[in-house]
Amino acid sequence: MKSKYILVTGGLGYIGSHTTIALIDKGYKVCIIDNLSNSSIDVLKRIKKITNISPDFFEFDLTDASNAKTFFKKNNKFDGVIHFAAKKSVDESVIKPLDYYYNNIQSLINLLENINTDVKFIFSSSCTVYGQAEKLPITETAPLKKPESPYGNTKKICENILEDKTKIETKLSTVILRYFNPIGAHPSGLIGEDPRNVPQNLVPIITQFAIGKLKKFAVFGDDYPTRDGTCIRDYISIMDLADAHISALEYLFSNKKNNIYNVFNVGTGEGKSVKEVIDSFNKVSGKNLQYDVRPRRKGDVISAFADISKAKKILNWASKVSFDDAVLSAWNWEQNK
């Protein structure tokens, strides 16, 4: 049987590269579009080293309508698309809101205007759309809050665009994946999270601090109403997260209906506090991190973890990698890169 051809936008980024490998491992043919704004061409070589296969690769910016038009005129044989290409810094989005609205929304519009409308579409969203949920664990039906940042708002707007477009295209099917907190790296140690600038998320901050790249590390607030006073999040292994995209594609490809719109949480279902993340890191690395406690970070939610029963039931997907193993993989990557 001919392999299905999947377009992965932002395929050289953190989640995109791991998902590309998972797709190739499952026998899919992959085409990557990436503008290299927060990724490196070296990742393409590493994907080849891990899989022995070179995905098709096109370097361009999807916000450029004429580039998109030219590309899709020549290349429009895709069975599926996984759209990762987006800016993702919460802080930067507050300082440069227009950059974020333009980049994240325009690229989706250009994609939807040019790609075949009988495609299976997976969109990379975030639990940030829930804000501080009233009920925990968070189900997909929890009311969406006004996002704290322009970045979060672009995720919500892109979900809305896809919902509206899917309503009018009788052969378009869309799955929205709302990721909780992705951590860790591929077991080969060849690819992982590699932010161009100073990392903003907890686990890469911890690993960079432990190796000496960052001089300071602080816990933002230990007076929250949680079991140890620090915030709680649902940290999901990047390997499990990559697999969720395969499960979502398989769900769409195997479904008799060809006009689906569905939303799934992708997390472990279990919350860990900031202190528990540090304890896990100390355990797997043999270190004993010395940190300060600083005031609460503006915009932080107290506690967020996913109800993953919908993904389990409908996508037949659940996380497999243990929390400690995911933290260890992040540490191995930090030492290898």
Answer yes or no: are the C-beta atoms of 175 and 262 closer than 8 Å. Answer: yes
**Structure-block tokens of residue 171:** 């052969």
**Structure-block tokens of residue 110:** 């250009």
Answer yes or no: are the C-beta atoms of 40 and 11 closer than 8 Å. Answer: no
Euclidean distance between CA atoms 176 and 289, whole angstroms: 37
Q: Which one is catalytic: 130, 151, 224, 251?
A: 151
Smallest gap from Cβ 149 to ligand UD1, in A, equals 6
Smallest gap from Cβ 249 to ligand UD1, in A, equals 22
User: Of 185, 191, 181, 161, nearest to 43 (Cα)?
Assistant: 191
Q: Is the CB of 120 or the CB of 178 nearer to ligand UD1?
A: 178
**Structure-block tokens of residue 63:** 């916000």
Q: Is 151 a catalytic residue?
A: yes
Residue nearest to ligand UD1 (CB): 231
Answer yes or no: are the C-beta atoms of 180 and 266 closer than 8 Å. Answer: yes
Q: Is the CB of 49 or the CB of 294 nearer to ligand UD1?
A: 294
Q: Which H/E stretch holds residue 329?
A: helix 323-336
Q: List all residues 6 or more positions away from 53 whose beta carbon is below 8 Å from its beta carbon.
A: 24, 47
Q: Is the CB of 57 or the CB of 220 nearer to ligand UD1?
A: 220
Q: Is the CB of 59 or the CB of 228 nearer to ligand UD1?
A: 228
Euclidean distance between CA atoms 265 and 125, whole angstroms: 9
Length of the chain as a residue count: 337
Smallest gap from Cβ 154 to ligand UD1, in A, equals 11
Smallest gap from Cβ 143 to ligand UD1, in A, equals 17
Residues of this chain that interact with ligand UD1 (CB under 6 A) are: 90, 126, 128, 148, 152, 181, 200-202, 205, 217-220, 231, 233, 274, 297, 299-300
Smallest gap from Cβ 308 to ligand UD1, in A, equals 17
Q: Is the CB of 29 or the CB of 156 nearer to ligand UD1?
A: 156
Q: Which residue has the tokens 């969406």?
A: 144
Answer yes or no: are the C-beta atoms of 86 and 124 closer than 8 Å. Answer: yes
Euclidean distance between CA atoms 50 and 31, whole angstroms: 17
Residues identified as active-site: 151
